[in-house]
Chains A and B, each alone.
Chain A
Amino acid sequence: MTAAAGARAAPSTGLPDDRWTRWDTALWLAPIVAFAVFSDRLELGRDVVIAALFALSLDIVLGYTGVVSLGHAAFFGLGAYTAGLLAHHGWGEPLTGLVCAAAVAAVAGYATSFLVVRGAALGQLMITLGVGLLLHEAANKAHALTGGVDGLGDIVMWRLAGVFRFDLEGRTAYLYSLVVTFAAFLLVRRVLSSPFGLSLRAIREGMARMPALGVPVGRRLVAAFTLAAALAGIAGGLQAQSARVVTLDVLSFERSATVLIMLVLGGAGRMYGAFIGAGLFMLARDYLARKDPVYWQLWIGGLLIVVVLLARGGILGLVETLRARRRTP
């Protein structure tokens, strides 16, 4: 990587700051306003929120640690199948289901991370791709357990916290997903602003130098990867519980690629990039893919090329560049 490309691509390198500002309030008010205004499109809203959480989990690995993963859907899918199978077999309690989803995904992430730590960039890419495809194919073949291509249905959810029924309009599912995502966001922001988070960013900037500073690179990568996997598992669990069906595509390569695209579109390594990218991507897909899925592929392909060639930092990167230009005319 050349120095120029690195400077253009790297997110802001200032000290992390997790104080709550007006911007945070404004951004988090948006989904609540959307809940009131677009009450007939809550299913889409829920999907946006879940996609944002999934993209946020990838951001820990990709944006903050600099590991390119092409198989992040593996953990999303594990979470979805864990939560789905629990409810399918009679345990419909949402929160414990979510905890189990996170746990299973975290264990898988922990195991995978040792394979990932070994390789260089290309090796990491291939290993994550391989693990993702392996799980997809395993779920496809384990028809008795997962329902294979037919999907896993008969998911009956109990009342959330014993009070809120999962209604047909999806109000409970939307708010449930939103609250869980908000909690995850606070956790991720706290973790990434800690010295641990700083060391992850340092690894991204110069992996070779970190051992000299006494940072156990391997252990940090394992921890980051496990945390990311757990959060992806929670996103998958939310998806299974609120859609009440798990299909094979939760593990697909396409999902891994899509979440990568969302994150990069919004701006990797920038916390809100995951949210902005997921929102724009899902809304654009809802609008454009309904017209013609072929054109949608053309759009997304062209968009990716434009982002890579012109806006490496995604939308938030562009905003940062513009603000920096205003400050130094």
Chain B
Amino acid sequence: MAAFISVLFDGIAYGSLLFVISVGMSVTLGLMRFVNLAHGAFAMFGGYVAYELVNRAGLSLFVALPVLLVGFAAVGAVLERVLYRWVSRTRPLDQVLLTIGVAFIATAIATWIWGPDQHSIALPAALKRQLHVFGLDLNVYRLFLIAMIVAITAVLHVLIERTRFGAQLRAAVDHPEAAAGLGIPVDRVFGLSFALGSGLAAVGGALGVEVLGLDPSFTFKYMVYFLLVVVVGGQGSIVGSAIAAISLGVFDVVGKYYVPGAGAFLIYALMVILLLVFPHGLIRRGR
């Protein structure tokens, strides 16, 4: 039983990471129907930059995270402006091709600068400890991950449900044309949410080095997971994405622990089944 709870705990922590990385994509995909296969590249570079900041420059991970959030939001805003905007209203095929191109370039750059080997980040001492609660061994790092998802979900929820920007965002997700007709700057809302999503992905990537690993194949390796969170969760739905991410994380970790022979097979099977049962995601925003 204790073993099961500890595996479950790992799964939830893993799912939290998937959520932090994918939530930005959920918004942009829901908002613009923009298929971004290169979203994981932000997480990957977030991990590498965190490696430089923490291991080379000697910063604490806690200091590096806000830097990453702001820095990558700026990078995301620029990239959206110079590249993605050109295809944001075209066929899914063009978006798929362009973002696969970006993912290839990201992989090449990462290999070029950091080489093909795995990198890891020195965790702050505060996160390395184990907690003993009710006879269970809880890893503080994983608790921290779960706390992060709760905090981020809460902040995003307030941002989307309580602010003017959030109202514009919801209107634009529900009906872009009508929202534009009412004078909502849909392009700018899209750009801002893209930037925010990029920043969050970088934070998720930095946090996730311990769990997800960090090497140049990252973008393609986890592409499916990020897409899956968004598609299963329902596009543009924060709560749906959170539920999807955590169930996915738990399912994957529990599956790999109890049925090691099946490997990633279970997760892909789950993916196909979920797509068939919930073609519009778990939580469908009113349309």
Contact = CB atoms under 8 A, between A and B. Distances in A.
B97 A115 contact: no
B57 interface: no
B245 to A, nearest CB: 16
Contacts of A254: 220
Contact size range, A: 35 or more
A122 B111 contact: no
B21 to A, nearest CB: 17
Interface in A281-327: 294-295, 297-298, 300-305, 307-309, 312
A158 interface: no
B279 A301 contact: no
Contact of A125 (B96, B108, B264, B265): B96
A134 B268 CA distance: 5
Nearest to A124: B92
Instruction: Tell me if B's interface is mostly helix, strand, loop or mixed.
Output: helix
B268 to A, nearest CB: 4
A140 interface: yes
Nearest to A253: B220
A131 B269 CA distance: 8
Interface string A127-157: 1011101100110110000000000000000
A126 B97 contact: no
Given A260-B97, A301-B102, A123 B279 contact: yes
The listed residue with most A CB atoms (<10 A of its CB), out of B90, B91, B93, B106, is B93
B104 A301 contact: yes
Interface stretch (A1-9, A49-57, A215-223): A1-9
Interface residues of B, number: 44
A42 interface: no
A41 interface: no
Contacts of B94: 5, 9, 308, 312
Contacts of A118: 276, 279
Nearest to A133: B268
Ranked nearest first, the 7 interchain pairs of A and B with the lowest CB-CB distance are A304-B101, A301-B104, A301-B105, A297-B108, A298-B108, A134-B268, A121-B92
Interface of A: 1-2, 5-6, 9, 62, 68, 70, 115, 118-123, 125-127, 129-131, 133-134, 137-138, 140-141, 253-254, 257, 260-261, 264, 294-295, 297-298, 300-305, 307-309, 312
